[in-house]
C-alpha cells in the first residue's frame, strides 16, 4: 500500500509538471504571436476600435445639429470682426474674447479626435461647415458604416446618411461617403467626405 501511495504521489506530481510545461509553452507561443503581429505592423483590434470611434464621433458632431452654441459663438465672432474696434486691426481681433471663445469651443469639440496637424487642417477646411446657416433646420445622421482597410490599417472608408429637415418640417435624405487616415491610436490625421456638390446637402442649405 505504501508503494502504491508513493506511485500515485509521483504520478500526480508528474501530471502537474506536464501541465505546467504546457502552460509555459502556450504562454510563450502567445507572446510570440503578439510580437509577430506588432512586428508586421498590424494594428491591434483595440486601436482600430478607437480610430473608428474617433471617426464616428466627428461625423456625428458635424452632422447632428446644427450646433446652436457654435452658431451663437460664430455670430458673436463675426460681429466683432466687422465692429469699429477690430475692423481695421485683424491681429487685435484674433485676441478678442469673441474669437477666443469660438476657437476654444471648436478645440473642445474636435481636438480630442485629431492629431495636431489633422486638427489644424480640419478646422480650416471642414469644421462646423453645416452649422452656420440662418434658416431653421435640423440634421440627423444614421447608417454610419466604417470599414478599416485590410492592407493598410491606418486607412478607413465610410458611408453615412444625413436627414435634412427644413423649417416647414419636410425631410430629405442625403448620402455621404468618405475616407480617413488615423496614423495614431484613435487620432485622425485627415478626414474627407463627398457631399454631392450641386445636389448635395451643402448646396441645399445655401440655396434655402
pLDDT for 139: 97
> Is residue 85 a contact partner of residue 91, using CB atoms and an 8 Å limit?
no
pLDDT for 153: 93
| Structural domain includes residue 4 | no
What are the beta bridge partners of residue 194? 177
Position with higher pLDDT, 172 vs 38: 172
pLDDT (average), residues 48-58: 91
DSSP 8-state assignment for residue 42? P
pLDDT for 134: 87
Q: Which residues does 86 contact at the CB level (< 8 Å), separation at least 6?
A: 80, 92, 93, 96
Give the whole-angstrom CA distance, residue 59 versus residue 63: 6
Domain of residue 90: give its range: 54-207
pLDDT tens for each residue of 195-205 = 876 789 999 99
| Structural domain includes residue 42 | no
pLDDT for 13: 39
Q: What's the total number of domains in the chain?
A: 1
Percent of the chain at pLDDT exceeding 70: 76
pLDDT higher than threshold 70 for residue 27: no
| Structural domain includes residue 169 | yes
pLDDT tens for each residue of 98-127 = 999 999 999 999 999 999 999 999 999 989
| Structural domain includes residue 14 | no
pLDDT (average), residues 68-96: 94
CATH number at residue 125: 3.10.450
pLDDT for 126: 87
Amino acid at each position: 500500500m505504501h508503494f502504491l501511495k508513493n506511485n500515485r504521489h509521483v504520478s500526480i506530481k508528474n501530471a502537474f509538471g506536464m501541465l505546467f510545461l504546457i502552460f509555459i509553452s502556450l504562454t510563450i507561443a502567445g507572446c510570440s504571436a503578439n510580437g509577430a503581429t506588432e512586428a508586421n505592423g498590424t494594428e491591434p483590434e483595440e486601436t482600430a476600435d478607437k480610430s473608428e470611434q474617433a471617426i464616428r464621433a466627428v461625423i456625428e458632431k458635424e452632422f447632428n445639429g446644427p450646433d446652436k452654441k457654435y452658431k451663437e459663438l460664430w455670430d458673436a465672432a463675426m460681429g466683432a470682426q466687422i465692429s469699429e474696434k477690430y475692423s481695421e486691426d485683424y491681429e487685435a481681433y484674433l485676441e478678442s474674447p469673441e474669437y477666443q471663445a469660438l476657437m476654444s469651443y471648436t478645440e473642445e469639440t474636435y481636438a480630442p479626435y485629431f492629431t495636431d496637424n489633422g486638427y489644424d487642417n480640419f478646422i480650416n477646411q471642414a469644421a462646423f461647415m453645416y452649422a452656420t446657416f440662418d434658416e431653421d433646420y435640423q440634421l440627423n445622421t444614421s447608417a454610419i458604416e466604417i470599414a478599416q482597410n485590410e492592407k493598410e490599417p491606418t486607412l478607413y472608408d465610410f458611408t453615412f446618411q444625413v436627414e435634412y429637415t427644413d423649417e416647414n418640417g419636410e425631410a430629405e435624405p442625403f448620402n455621404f461617403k468618405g475616407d480617413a487616415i488615423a496614423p495614431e491610436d484613435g487620432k485622425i490625421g485627415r478626414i474627407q467626405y463627398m457631399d454631392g456638390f450641386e445636389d448635395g446637402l451643402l448646396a441645399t442649405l445655401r440655396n434655402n
